[in-house]
Amino acid sequence: MKRKLLYLFFLILLIQSCKKNKEESYDSESFVSAVEETSYGNGYADNTYCAEVEYYNPNTGTRSTYTLNVEVENNELTVIHWPNGGWLDEDHFSPEELDSDGSCSFTSDRGYEYTVQINGPECSFTDESRMQSDVEEDKEAVTCPGCGGEKNEFDDLCWYCERKERRNKEEEENKKKDIEEHTCKRCGQYDTFMWSSDDMCSDCKRNTEEE
């Protein structure tokens, strides 16, 4: 009896293993069939694919590679799925035709350069969270804290805010100098009519003369 149960147990394991291998083989064959269609047919079928996306920002010199889902229509890359449900689409770049290896390159409307290589069917897991963190850091490096506009990565402020800050500093220094020159050293009052060479205001001068 025990021998029969043991035989039945191994038979079940064998059936499950064959079923799993068949499913994996089906997924692999499905993608191979898509690749064959690319080489001999009209290109990649309209679908969502898993791709390796290289991102380069010439403003900061940042170059990173991520695994992301992309969409293909008429053998052209049309959408790159971004973190938090966002995406990069035809509003940001012109659809690019995939070559026989499933790759293409383009420059977005912001001047960022992308190279995309399709690796297989839609990804179960992607680098969206890592990419979101990198993009936020990259954006912060070229965002002016004064006005929110664009700045050079190595500058503290944009050109407009630097000029404004410099002008405000000059005005503050001139105001301070004006107060020092027109403040009576005897009574401490501000007198508009004092000359820079005067030490006392007109009232103090008059009182001194009367004394």
Q: What is the pLDDT of residues 152-197, one digit of tens each?
A: 777 888 888 999 889 989 989 988 888 888 888 888 888 887 777 7
Residue 20 in this model has a pLDDT that exceeds 70: no
pLDDT at position 48 is 94
d(CA 90, CA 73): 12
Task: Tell me the domain boundaries of the chain.
Answer: 47-141, 163-210
Span 5-9, mean pLDDT?
A: 52
Tokens of 9: 């147990």
Q: Cβ distance 172 to 166 under 8 Å?
A: no
User: Please, what is the average pLDDT of the chain?
Assistant: 78
Per-residue CA distances from 24 to 11, 30, 32, 66, 88 (Å): 20, 10, 12, 25, 31
pLDDT at position 129 is 72
Residue 33 in this model has a pLDDT that exceeds 80: no
3-state helix, strand, coil in the chain (%, to 5): 40, 25, 35
pLDDT classification of 17: cutoffs 50, 70, 90: low
Q: Tell me whether residue 170 is exposed, middle or buried, using C-beta atoms within 10 angstroms of its C-beta: 0 to 12, 13 to 18, 19 or more.
A: exposed
Give the tens place of pLDDT for each residue, 134-157.
777 777 877 888 888 888 777 888
pLDDT at position 46 is 93
Buried residues in 116-139 as b, exposed as e (16+ CB within 10 A)? bbbebbebeebbbeebeebbeebe
pLDDT classification of 37: cutoffs 50, 70, 90: very low
